[in-house]
Structure 1
Amino acid sequence: MGRHLHFDCFSGVSGDMVLGALIDAGLPWAALVTGLNGLKLKGYRLRKRKVPRAALHATKVEVIIERGFERPLTLARIRKILAASSLSDPVKQQSRAVFERLAEAEGLAHHMAAADVHFHEVGVMDSFIDVVGGVLGCHLLNVTRITASAINVGSGTIQTSHGLLPVPGPAVAALAKGVPIYSDGPRCELATPTGVALLRTLASEFGPLSLMAAASIGYGAGDHDPAGWPNVLRVFVSAERPQAGRPTDRVMQIETNLDDLNPQAYEHLMDRLFAVGALDVALIPVIMKRSRPGIILSCLAPRDQTDAALEVVFQETTALGVRVQEVARHILPRRFVTVSVHGRAVRMKIAEMGAGWEKAAPEYLDCKQVANETGRPLKQVMEEAALAYRESKKAKAGSKK
């Protein structure tokens, strides 16, 4: 089990603030520098220092440019740089996702295709390091769950190469769709496109800090130092929990109430959900408003399959709204063992309960096929499969004596 990291964006977020906060919270400096060498980029060096920001002290990470990129980067060139690096696949994928979000946002802001965007702001060396360093830092800290607060975007106007723009700028506004934002503090830009794109890619949910036992807290300094305002990004990091006990994972629970769907469609609906990766689907009878009988459709899906499952629900049902929340599961380690029943293979699903205890159940579809082929009752086939497994266990135990 890894760590939970929460970004507290009371003064916005930027790429260098993310790096500074991670270092301040305990990310080893040498590990970050060594890891970034995997990008195989030359012409820069990293520097960290402690700086005051109003009443707080924070870590400022700076990228000292000795020789930068000769021209602005396209998304295609960024992908090539990442693909040629020796970074781990998860770091490559998430870094690429950050740049793809940035390209989409810049494209929307300037009315062009994402592939045609030239990254003037994030194409320079320091922002490239900020993006990959932020993703890499979370992996080096073994962070497996990331959440974030609402983002303070600042206020006023900013001067850009495109002229005077309101805060938040068009790219930040596009990236912040669906994310809680607000405006507070000094009249300046507090959230940058790079910072918001990092959060949109890394964080699984946005909202207040949930129940958490923080083991370390870090403060990353922004460039601006407004009088009387602590311009820092704060992170809370939980302790790393060992793998002792039952393993857990986090999945998305998708639910909606149905009272006007033809029951003949239920089987097709469940088949479609399983086809797009649902882990479980249940139809729960309930009494709804005006005492009408109805069904609660409840589906568990991996986080990266949420959109596909939602698409099926909206296409195949009469639902106009769906409830979605992330939930934790305690799961038993499991494996499959094959036994022979009447000369045919039947898989037994074995779940380890600890202390030598286990649960064993024959796979229904295998038993159904044996019953159809032999003409024997399904119940009897399932009993025979369970007996065959018990006998095989006894035989193995006897051979070890």
Structure 2
Amino acid sequence: MTTHLWIDAGAGVAGDMLLGALVDAGAPLDEVQSVVDAVLPATVRLALTEVSRAGLRAAKVDVEVLAPDQPHRRWTDIRALIEAADIPEPVRDRAVHVFEVLADAEAHVHGVEPADVHFHEVGAWDSIADVVGVCAALHLLGVTSVSAGPVALGSGTARTSHGTVGVPAPATLRLATGWEVAAVGTGELATPTGLALVRALAATCEALPPMRVTASGSGAGTKDVEGRANVTRVVLGEPATEPTPTTDPAPATGGAETLWVLEANVDDLDPRLWPGVIESLLAAGAADAWLTPILMKKGRPAHTLSVLCDVGHRESLRGIVLEHTTTLGVREHEVSRHALDRSWETVDVRGVPVRIKLSHTADGRAVHATPEFEDVRAAAERAGIPARVVLDEANAAAQAAGLRGPARRRQD
């Protein structure tokens, strides 16, 4: 079953607030604690209480530190902690990606390389617990896709380890690039950790999408502000129409959009590594990624790696290219993309649902109907037959359902 999570950060967002909302929505706290313990053994305890914020009930998750040591940590140290832990792979991948996004923002603010970033507030035990806890809660709730609404950043000033800074803080403002935000409320309403979780986990900024709601939750911040419920809310449900997979670009509107292309020429990478590089880029938010064979100087065979992305993912994806390949640099340029609208239908193939991606013109006419290959492969494995047979049957089912042809129009 597909489970979509929508994050309401209209009153702000912090790591503990999002964790509280997910626990309130049904993520079992004891199992979240077990995952956190695998990363930080005998270091923190998650304590859950029910509180009121502006007269509304909410869950408050506090991270109680059991260890006295609170060192500043480099991003590479935090990554080593997470990668060495015996935790589910989706939790590990999401947590690492959140800290990658944070490291990129902090590196820009301080003018250093991401690997040299020393976290202060973010590197504390409780912030690591927040990030790992949120990623564990998503896994336990079976969340397969995430989106979020506009984020309230706040206003005024806040105290940090660097002294008093304006709100939004520099790293928060950097993380807000490409996202819809508002300077409503007083004080710091969105922390770097909270906004990094939104940017790393959510594929798109949108209002509450159509869905059959299965659960919801509210996570409280520390302060109880009169006239404004200091909470982050989450809504879980089954999408009314199947969402585009997180490895695919967000559904297009049919108009022009500005994207970025990142490119690098590589002639010395083991070819067996390329599939993993492409998968990592797509999982991290790239709209597309591909290889082009080329010949370099002296006739050396090589590849050009190209990555298509929005501005909000540009820095994190650049970091993946530099870290996962042997290139010494990345070229970047803006492009304008005109894309067809997209929607999803489902057909039955040998008792297994297979999604069909429909591409529409601006007037709603279906131009393409393409079976989702991951569904085709799963159906083939279940039936014990070649994938090409299931692909043919899925195409035939789409034709029989009227999903192909010039007469097919989107039903709004």
Please tell me the TM-score bracket, short chain as reference.
Answer: 0.5 to 0.7
- State the distance in 1 between where 2:79 and 2:146 align: 24
Cα distance, 1:127 vs structure 2: 0.6
> Is the 8 Å Cα contact of residues 256 and 321 (structure 1) preserved in structure 2?
no
Deviations 1:32-88 (A, max 9, x none): 122323225222211000011002110000011121445211111111111110111
> Is the 8 Å Cα contact of residues 350 and 359 (structure 1) preserved in structure 2?
no
Deviations 1:80-131 (A, max 9, x none): 1111101112211111111111111112112222222211101111110000
Cα distance, 1:164 vs structure 2: 2.2
**What secondary structure sits across from 1:228 in the alignment?**
coil
**Residue in structure 1 matched with residue 142 of structure 2 by the alignment:** 142
**Residue in structure 2 matched with residue 308 of structure 1 by the alignment:** 289
Cα distance, 1:256 vs structure 2: 8.2
- State the distance in 1 between where 2:189 and 2:243 align: 36
**Which deviates more, 225-234 or 133-142?**
225-234
**Residue in structure 1 matched with residue 87 of structure 2 by the alignment:** 87
Cα distance, 1:223 vs structure 2: 1.5
**Sequence identity percentage:** 36
Equivalenced residues, count: 301
> Is the 8 Å Cα contact of residues 334 and 350 (structure 1) preserved in structure 2?
no
1:349 aligns with 2:388: yes
1:152 aligns with 2:133: no
**What secondary structure sits across from 1:128 in the alignment?**
helix
**Residue in structure 2 matched with residue 25 of structure 1 by the alignment:** 25
> Is the 8 Å Cα contact of residues 276 and 308 (structure 1) preserved in structure 2?
no
**Residue in structure 2 matched with residue 60 of structure 1 by the alignment:** 60
**What secondary structure sits across from 2:71 in the alignment?**
coil
Where do residues 2-401 of structure 1 align in structure 2 (5 Å cutoff)? 2-185=2-185, 187-239=186-238, 250=245, 251-252=248-249, 304-308=285-289, 311=307, 320-323=335-338, 327-328=343-344, 330-331=355-356, 333-334=375-376, 349-351=388-390
Deviations 1:170-208 (A, max 9, x none): 0000111101100112x1000000001011111011121
TM-score, normalised via structure 2 length: 0.65
- State the distance in 1 between where 2:211 and 2:233 align: 15
| Residues 307 and 224 of structure 1: CA distance in aligned 2, closer, same or farther (over 3 Å) | farther
| Residues 69 and 99 of structure 1: CA distance in aligned 2, closer, same or farther (over 3 Å) | farther
- State the distance in 1 between where 2:235 and 2:59 align: 15
- State the distance in 1 between where 2:239 and 2:37 align: 26
**What secondary structure sits across from 1:350 in the alignment?**
helix
Deviations 1:234-259 (A, max 9, x none): 11111599xxxx998633367789xx
> Counterpart of 2:231 in structure 1: which amino acid?
V
TM-score, normalised via structure 1 length: 0.67
- State the distance in 1 between where 2:307 and 2:80 align: 32
**Residue in structure 1 matched with residue 364 of structure 2 by the alignment:** none
Deviations 1:204-246 (A, max 9, x none): 11121121221221100011222222100011111599xxxx9
**What secondary structure sits across from 1:213 in the alignment?**
strand
**What secondary structure sits across from 2:121 in the alignment?**
coil
- Ranges in structure 1 where 5+ consecutive residues have no aligned partner: 258-274, 278-300, 314-318, 338-346, 361-401
**What secondary structure sits across from 1:191 in the alignment?**
coil
| Residues 76 and 326 of structure 1: CA distance in aligned 2, closer, same or farther (over 3 Å) | farther
**Which deviates more, 24-33 or 43-52?**
24-33
- Ranges in structure 2 where 5+ consecutive residues have no aligned partner: 257-273, 277-281, 291-305, 310-333, 346-354, 357-370, 381-385, 398-412
